[in-house]
A and B are shown apart, each in its own frame.
Chain A
């Protein structure tokens, strides 16, 4: 049993290494926002939507995707000239101003750097998105979440089986449970 759980702890931990490091680094960035430059690059391009495409913003978005704008449709605003459409994937944000009269789409492309990319990946969750790649990330978010719980559980077992560390371990675990569970209960019942 000990050997199986020790290997499970090892396999899960090192398989999730880059994912966990991504979560750790992006958390540091979010907790210390002045430490990192989050400057993004902005570019603009223009595309013409074909006459066969209907006026439906989803159809316009589908054509823009075929033209290379990859991402999830986030929002559509209707205005006098046409539509403002937002498409997003981690690290890249498109704002499209579509003019009905000319069928022209002015595309503003905002691209973040490495830390900005990690930040956006950190915020992915679920498999309900309309861009497949975000859903694939969502599956791994679930797997890494289960991995974290399993790492915690197997870690506790491995510690408990290390007899020489039981006394100090009980103290450290009691500190953690005492502080965290108390704070969680106090906040939840506030």
Chain B
């Protein structure tokens, strides 16, 4: 039994090595974020002329812009994100794991202001670790979401099988006992204090 669990633990670990590293980097990216806003690099804005049909609704304008650019990995703007600003312009932000495409439709000038925001590699990996929606429009993200699901279950499997392997092989090992008790005590204390 122990030998089989050890094999499974090892095989699952090998099948999830990259994901484990991605999860680790994601945590470190969040640690060094330094504030609520993430650091990013924004390209200088460029402008393109854009004249929607007379009487077009904000929804229709957003769909026209989406069809015109078809930014890779970006989906259509949801209804809840469609709001005019105080000047009557329509901000349209297309979010992707690689960064944002921030567009502003300025009706008085019949043009679009286009800003491209780039995300650094650690924040890209941080966002990739959150991709679990299996209904992704893009096949690459859909495949990644499937692998992420596998990695989530694997993480739980490795944690449980790891504790089993310790208990089945060296349960009386003092330092291991202290490690387990210390880690568990810290978690439970923090949880209780936060609750």
Contact = CB atoms under 8 A, between A and B. Distances in A.
Contacts of B187: 18-19, 22
B159 A133 contact: no
Interface of B is mostly: helix
B106 interface: no
A109 interface: no
A190 B73 contact: yes
Contact of A21 (B14, B34, B35, B156): B156
Nearest to A18: B187
Given A10-B176, A27-B152, A137-B190, A183 B140 contact: yes
B50 to A, nearest CB: 24
Interface residues of A, number: 68
Interface stretch (B23-31, B41-49, B56-64, B79-87): B23-31
A184 interface: yes
A176 interface: yes
A181 B27 contact: no
Nearest to B188: A18
B168 interface: no
Contacts, number: 198
A82 interface: no
Interface of A is mostly: helix
Interface in A110-159: 117, 121, 124-128, 133, 136-138, 140-142, 144-149, 151-152, 155-156, 158-159
A30 interface: yes
Contacts of B29: 125
B191 interface: yes
Interface residues of B, number: 72
Given A23-B155, A145-B27, A180-B18, A15 B13 contact: no
Contact of A125 (B31, B153, B191): B31
Q: Which 9 A-B pairs have the closest CB atoms?
A: A125-B30, A145-B27, A15-B183, A180-B18, A24-B156, A149-B24, A148-B24, A31-B132, A18-B187
Given A18-B184, A24-B155, 7 more contacts: A24-B156, A91-B195, A126-B31, A133-B190, A142-B27, A155-B14, A176-B19
15 contacts: A10-B173, A14-B162, A15-B180, A28-B152, A31-B152, A117-B191, A117-B195, A121-B194, A124-B30, A125-B33, A133-B193, A152-B13, A169-B11, A173-B15, A184-B128
